[in-house]
Amino acid sequence: MLPVDAVLRKVDSSFEESVGRLCELLRIPSVSTDPAYAGDVRRAAQWCADRLAAMGFTVTIHETPGHPILVAHNPGPAGVETPHVLYYGHYDVQPADPVELWNSPPFEPAIVEAERGRRVVARGAADDKGQTMTFMEAFEAWHAVHGSIPIRATVLLEGEEETGSPSLPRFLKEHAEELRADFCLVTDTNAWDVDTPAITTRLRGLLYLEATVTGPSHDLHSGLFGGAVPNPINVLTGILGQIHDADGRVRFDGFYDGVRELPDDLLAQIRGLPLDEAQFLGALGLTRSHGEAGRTLLERIWTRPTCDINGIWGGYTGEGSKTVIPAKASCKLSCRLVPGQDPAAIEASVERFFEERLPADCTVSFRRFSSSPGIEVPTDTPWMQAVRGGLKDATERDGVLIGGGGSIPIVGWFREHLGLDTILVGFGLDDDRIHSPNEKFELKCLRNGIRSHAAILGRLAAGQVG
| Among positions 83, 89, 150, 314, the unique one binding a second copy when judged by CB under 8 A | 314
Which secondary structure element, helix H or strand E, spans residue 148, and what is its range?
none
- Which of 193, 233, 238, 191 minimizes the C-alpha distance to 216? 233
> With contact defined as beta carbons under 8 Å apart, do 58 and 152 qualify?
no
Contacts with a second copy, 383-422, as mask; x by CB under 8 A: ---------------------xxxx---------------
| Among positions 34, 292, 351, 376, the unique one binding a second copy when judged by CB under 8 A | 292
54 near a second copy, judged by CB under 8 A: no
Of residues 269 and 289, the one with the C-beta less far from a second copy: 289
| Among positions 267, 275, 309, 462, the unique one binding a second copy when judged by CB under 8 A | 309
Judged by CB under 8 A, the chain residues 328 through 357 that form the site for a second copy are: 329-332, 334, 336
Other beta carbons within 10 Å of 313: 13
To a second copy, the closest distance from the beta carbon of 332 in angstroms equals: 6
301 near a second copy, judged by CB under 8 A: yes
Q: What is the 3-state secondary structure (H, E, C) of 55-122?
A: CCCEEEEECCCCCCEEEEEECCCCCCCCCEEEEEEECCECCCCCHHHCCCCCCCCEEEEECCEEEEEC
> With contact defined as beta carbons under 8 Å apart, do 206 and 411 qualify?
no
| Among positions 16, 79, 113, 321, the unique one binding a second copy when judged by CB under 8 A | 321
Judged by CB under 8 A, the chain residues 270 through 289 that form the site for a second copy are: 281, 284-289
Say how many residues touch a second copy, by CB under 8 A: 80
To the nearest 10 degrees (0 to 180), the angle between helices 129-146 and 443-461 is 50
Spatial distance between the Cα atoms of 262 and 402, rounded to a whole number of angstroms: 12
Spatial distance between the Cα atoms of 420 and 413, rounded to a whole number of angstroms: 9
Q: What is the CB-side half-sphere exposure of residue 73 using CA atoms within 13 A?
A: 8
Of residues 96 and 213, the one with the C-beta less far from a second copy: 213
Other beta carbons within 10 Å of 307: 20
Of residues 72 and 325, the one with the C-beta less far from a second copy: 325
Judged by CB under 8 A, the chain residues 365 through 384 that form the site for a second copy are: 369-370
Other beta carbons within 10 Å of 43: 17
Of residues 104 and 363, the one with the C-beta less far from a second copy: 363
Of residues 274 and 285, the one with the C-beta less far from a second copy: 285
Judged by CB under 8 A, the chain residues 237 through 266 that form the site for a second copy are: 237-244
| Among positions 315, 340, 409, 466, the unique one binding a second copy when judged by CB under 8 A | 315
Of residues 74 and 438, the one with the C-beta less far from a second copy: 438
| Among positions 26, 236, 270, 460, the unique one binding a second copy when judged by CB under 8 A | 236
